[in-house]
Amino acid sequence: MAVYLHEEDLPEGVLAPGPVAVDTETMGLITPRDRLCLVQISDGRGDEHLVRFAPDSRFDAPNLKAVLADPDRVKLYHFARFDLAAIEHYLGVTAAPVFCTKIASKLTRTYTDRHGLKDLVRELLGKELSKQQQSSDWGAPELSEAQREYAASDVRYLHAMHTILIERLAREHRTEAAQAAFDYLPHRARLDLAGWADKDIFSHES
């Protein structure tokens, strides 16, 4: 198992076919303001690839975009809504089809209100994640080893959790509901980018 750091694009041919786990690191939580710094991606076979973008990046990244936009590759996320918005805003592609472990957790783990990645990894896989680097400076000239490990760990376990959560969704007869939610996520991300991030347009409230 290794963590690879690449500048501005993913090398061609480093990922095996099939679903890929995806995550992003940005300078903050307001997508149009807080630039995309890093995209993490893994094919689930033991290596994680980190693609870093400079402050003046043009976000060309043709190899990475091709993987993210591939309609035959499922993209596994935890809280896909945020990552989809960041990828669409900066890279200009819709990184779908989607499976979101956070949504799958909310539909199946109704016995708890703890649906963070750390909580899921602990319960489903019996492993511990460190979140110490979550709020660190992802735009720094150099990424520390701790930052690289944190970023890699965000995609390291998504394939294994995907397998478990698919089974749980089927067991609870919520596969169809989950898929409908996943299919909607790219549209929800676009609404966020268009200014409706804090509005529930389905709510009765104005």
User: In this structure, what CATH number is given to the domain that contains residue 186?
Assistant: 3.30.420.10
For residue 150, the number of C-alpha atoms closer than 13 Å in the C-beta half-sphere is 17
Alpha carbon distance 71, 67 (integer Å) = 9
Alpha carbon distance 25, 39 (integer Å) = 7
**Domain annotation covers residue 28:** yes
Grouping H, G, I as helix, E, B as strand and the rest as coil, residue 30 is coil
Interacting residues of 8 by C-beta distance below 8 A, sequence separation 6+: 51, 52, 53, 54, 57, 60, 61
Nearest to 182 by CA among 75, 100, 82, 93: 100
Alpha carbon distance 50, 2 (integer Å) = 11
Q: Which long-range contacts (CB under 8 A, 24 or more apart) does 167-173 make?
A: 168/104, 168/108, 168/109, 169/104, 169/107, 169/108, 171/108, 172/107, 172/108
**Domain annotation covers residue 204:** no
**Domain annotation covers residue 201:** no
**Domain annotation covers residue 123:** yes
Interacting residues of 171 by C-beta distance below 8 A, sequence separation 6+: 108
Residue of 48, 83, 88, 192 marked active site? 83
Q: Is 83 a catalytic residue?
A: yes
**Domain annotation covers residue 105:** yes
- Output the average pLDDT for the chain: 96
Residue of 23, 43, 48, 192 marked active site? 23
Q: Is 88 a catalytic residue?
A: no
**Domain annotation covers residue 143:** yes
Grouping H, G, I as helix, E, B as strand and the rest as coil, residue 204 is coil
Residue of 43, 48, 88, 154 marked active site? 154
| The pLDDT of residue 133 | 66
| The pLDDT of residue 135 | 75
Residues in the chain predicted with pLDDT less than 70, given as ranges, are 132-134, 206
Residue of 77, 90, 150, 157 marked active site? 150
Grouping H, G, I as helix, E, B as strand and the rest as coil, residue 36 is strand
Q: Quote the domain boundaries for residue 157.
A: 3-196
**Domain annotation covers residue 151:** yes
Alpha carbon distance 11, 5 (integer Å) = 10
| The pLDDT of residue 205 | 81
Q: Is 150 a catalytic residue?
A: yes
**Domain annotation covers residue 203:** no
Q: Domain count of the chain?
A: 1
Residue of 25, 43, 48, 88 marked active site? 25
